[in-house]
C-alpha cells in the first residue's frame, strides 16, 4: 500500500509542487494577531475550545458551542433563546461539527487552542481539498495536465486561498466531504453504487449537515436526480432513498444534540429568532440589490474565473466573426497572480 502511494506521488509531482506552493504563499501572514478582517470565526472557535476546557470538557454542555469564556465576569446577565441556564451565550445557527473538530484535534494532540494551531489545521484541510479535487478531475477528464491546471487555477484564486488557509469557515472545512460526495455521484452516474459506497454517501451527508446547512440543498438535488433516473433504471431507488435518509438524519442529529442540553423549545425559539434577525437584515433590500451583493463577493473571490469565462465567450465570437484576441488567453493568469498579495 505504501509503495503504491509513493509511486502515485512520483507520477504526480506537479500536484506535490502545487501543495508546497500553497503552504509557501501563506507564510507571510501565518500566526498574525486576529483582526476584524474575516477573523471573527477564528476567534469564536478558539473561545469555545478554551471555554470547554475551562469547564472540564465539552461534554458538560453536550458539545453545544459557546461564545464566552467561563467565569461569572464573562457571562451575560440577560435572558433569551441564546442564553443557557448558566448564562453562557450559545451558538446554534449551524451544527456543532466545525467547533467539535478543532477541539478534539487540540485535545488529542495536547495542543493549546491558538490562532496558529487553528490555521495549521485549516491549511491541512485545504491541502486535502486540493488533493481530492485533483483526483476527482483526474477520474473525470482522464488527462493529468488538465486536472492539475484546473486544480491550480481554483486553489490559487483569492477566496480559496483565504478560506482554505487563514480564515476558518464552515464552507471551507466541508469541501473534502463535498468533493467525496461528488466523486460518489460521478460513480453513480456510470454504475450502481455498492453497499459500502452507499454507506460512505450516507455518512458524508450526515457529517456535512453536522457542519453547515448547505448540504440540505446538495442532498435534495442528488436525491431528485436519482429519483428521475430511477424511472428508467430501478437501481437508482436506493440512491435517492439514501440521500433523503442522510439529510433527515443529519438534521435530527443537530436538533437532538442541542435539545439534549437546552431543551427542544429553546432550540426552536433560537432558530426562529435567528431567522427573524436575518430576514430583518435584508428587509430593506430588493432582489436586485441582494443579487448584486452576492455578485460582488463572487467577483472579489473568483475574479480570475470571470476573466477566463470572458475569454472563452470572446473566443466563441472570434470564431464567428473571424476576430482574434491574442492577449486574453493570458489575462486570467496575470489577474490571478496580481490578486494574490491581497488574498493571502
Q: How far apart are CA 246 and CA 266, in angstroms?
A: 25
Q: Identify whether the C-beta of residue 138 lies closer than 8 Å to the C-beta of residue 147.
A: yes
All three cell numbers of 27, joined, read 507564510
pTM: 0.84
Q: Identify whether the C-beta of residue 270 lies closer than 8 Å to the C-beta of residue 278.
A: no
Q: With 0-12 CB in 10 A as exposed, 13-18 as middle and 19+ as buried, what is 63?
A: buried
| DSSP at 167 | S
The pLDDT assigned to 3 comes to 77
What's CA 224's distance to the chain center, in Å?
23
The pLDDT assigned to 153 comes to 87
Q: Which residues contact 123 (CB under 8 A, 6 or more apart)?
A: 22, 23, 26, 164, 165
Phi/psi class of residue 83: alpha, beta or left (left: φ > 0; alpha: ψ in -120 to 50)?
beta
Q: Identify whether the C-beta of residue 42 lies closer than 8 Å to the C-beta of residue 168.
A: yes
Dihedral sign for Cα atoms in the order 162, 164, 166, 171 = positive
The pLDDT assigned to 283 comes to 60
Q: How far apart are CA 292 and CA 304, in angstroms?
A: 18
Domains of the chain, by residue range, sit at: 178-281, 287-343
All three cell numbers of 210, joined, read 453536522
The pLDDT assigned to 343 comes to 43
10 Å Cβ neighbour count for 182? Answer: 17
The pLDDT assigned to 110 comes to 94
H/E element, 311:
helix 287-321
Q: Identify whether the C-beta of residue 224 lies closer than 8 Å to the C-beta of residue 268.
A: no
What's CA 316's distance to the chain center, in Å?
34
Q: How far apart are CA 140 and CA 138, in angstroms?
A: 5
Nearest to 78 by CA among 89, 70, 94: 89
**pLDDT, one tens digit for every residue, the chain (344 residues):** 667 778 888 888 899 999 999 999 999 888 888 876 668 899 999 999 999 999 999 999 999 999 999 998 888 778 889 999 999 999 999 999 999 999 999 999 999 999 999 999 999 999 999 999 999 989 888 888 888 988 998 898 888 888 888 889 998 999 999 999 999 988 988 888 999 999 999 999 999 999 999 889 999 999 999 999 989 888 889 999 999 999 999 999 999 999 999 999 999 999 998 888 776 666 667 778 777 777 777 776 677 666 666 666 666 655 555 544 444 444 444 444 444 444 44
The pLDDT assigned to 130 comes to 95
10 Å Cβ neighbour count for 25? Answer: 17
All three cell numbers of 287, joined, read 432582489
Residue 76's SS3 state is: coil
Nearest to 188 by CA among 150, 147, 146, 227: 227
- Residue 193 dihedral angles phi and psi, to the nearest 5°: -70, 140
**Range 194-199 contact pairs with CB under 8 angstroms and sequence separation of 24 or more:** 198/238, 198/239, 198/242
The pLDDT assigned to 336 comes to 46
Concatenated DSSP letters for 194-236? PHHHHHHHHHHHHHHHTT-SHHHHHHHHHHHHHHHHHTT-GGG
The pLDDT assigned to 79 comes to 85
The pLDDT assigned to 233 comes to 87
Residue 83, strand partner residues: 89
Amino acid at each position: 500500500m505504501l509503495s503504491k502511494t509513493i509511486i502515485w506521488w512520483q507520477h504526480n509531482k506537479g500536484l506535490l509542487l502545487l501543495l508546497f506552493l500553497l503552504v509557501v504563499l501563506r507564510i507571510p501572514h501565518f500566526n498574525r494577531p486576529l483582526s476584524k478582517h474575516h477573523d471573527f470565526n477564528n476567534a469564536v472557535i478558539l473561545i469555545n475550545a478554551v471555554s470547554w476546557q475551562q469547564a472540564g470538557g465539552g461534554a458538560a454542555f453536550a458539545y453545544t458551542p459557546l461564545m464566552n469564556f467561563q467565569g461569572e465576569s464573562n457571562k451575560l446577565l440577560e435572558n433569551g433563546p441564546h442564553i443557557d441556564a448558566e448564562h453562557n451565550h450559545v451558538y446554534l445557527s449551524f451544527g456543532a461539527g466545525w467547533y467539535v473538530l478543532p477541539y478534539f484535534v487540540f485535545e488529542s494532540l495536547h495542543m493549546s487552542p491558538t490562532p496558529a494551531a487553528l490555521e495549521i489545521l485549516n491549511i491541512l484541510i485545504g491541502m486535502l481539498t486540493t488533493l481530492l479535487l485533483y483526483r476527482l478531475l483526474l477520474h473525470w477528464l482522464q488527462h493529468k495536465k488538465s486536472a492539475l491546471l484546473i486544480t491550480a487555477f481554483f486553489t490559487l484564486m483569492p477566496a480559496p486561498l483565504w478560506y482554505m488557509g487563514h480564515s476558518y469557515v464552515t464552507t471551507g472545512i466541508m469541501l473534502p466531504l463535498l468533493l467525496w460526495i461528488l466523486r460518489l455521484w460521478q460513480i453513480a452516474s456510470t454504475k450502481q453504487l455498492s453497499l459500502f459506497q452507499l454507506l460512505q454517501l450516507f455518512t458524508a451527508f450526515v457529517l456535512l449537515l453536522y457542519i453547515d446547512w448547505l448540504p440540505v440543498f446538495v442532498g435534495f438535488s442528488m436525491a431528485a436526480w436519482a429519483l428521475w433516473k430511477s424511472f428508467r433504471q430501478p437501481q437508482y431507488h436506493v440512491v435517492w432513498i439514501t440521500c433523503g435518509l442522510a439529510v433527515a438524519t443529519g438534521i435530527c442529529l443537530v436538533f437532538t444534540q442541542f435539545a439534549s442540553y437546552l431543551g427542544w423549545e429553546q432550540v426552536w425559539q433560537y432558530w426562529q429568532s435567528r431567522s427573524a434577525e436575518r430576514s430583518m437584515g435584508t428587509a430593506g433590500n430588493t432582489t436586485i440589490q441582494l443579487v448584486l451583493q452576492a455578485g460582488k463577493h463572487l467577483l472579489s473571490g473568483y475574479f480570475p474565473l470571470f476573466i477566463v469565462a470572458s475569454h472563452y465567450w470572446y473566443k466563441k465570437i472570434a470564431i464567428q466573426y473571424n476576430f482574434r484576441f491574442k492577449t486574453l488567453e493570458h489575462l486570467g493568469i496575470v489577474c490571478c497572480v496580481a490578486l494574490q498579495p491581497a488574498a493571502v
